[in-house]
Amino acid sequence: MSTQLVDFLNKYGYYIWIAAFVAIFYFTLILPQKRRQKKHSKLLESLEVGDKVVTMGGIFGTIKKVFENKILIKVAPNVDIEIAKNAVSRKLTK
């Protein structure tokens, strides 16, 4: 190796390693979490009356009414529960 390269690595090698670890941290932890949050937000915006959903607690139901921050779901005949909109984990296909 040339002496210029060795001098460069001696001066800035530590910073290169730090930058590499920050990049790895970002691409393995932060970016996937942002993607999941964006996907969940789109799911919550698309909720409509009649959709079959599963909550984070594992409750299956059909949306009866949609409010701003909560929804009313029918879980059994004559049994409706009100849950937070954020508690919906997924929408079941029809």
Long-range contacts of 32-35 (CB under 8 A, 24+ apart): none
43 neighbors 90 (Cβ within 8 angstroms): yes
Q: What pLDDT, on a 0 to 100 scale, did the predictor assign at position 3? A: 82
Q: What pLDDT, on a 0 to 100 scale, did the predictor assign at position 94? A: 60
Q: Which residues pair with 60 in a beta bridge?
A: 54
Which residue spans within the chain are E strands per DSSP? Answer: 52-55, 60-66, 70-76, 79-84, 88-91
Give pLDDT tens digits along the chain (94 positions).
678 877 887 888 888 889 999 999 999 999 999 999 999 999 999 999 999 999 999 999 999 999 999 999 999 999 999 999 999 999 997 6
Q: What pLDDT, on a 0 to 100 scale, did the predictor assign at position 4? A: 82
> What count of other Cβ atoms lies within 10 Å of the Cβ of residue 45?
8
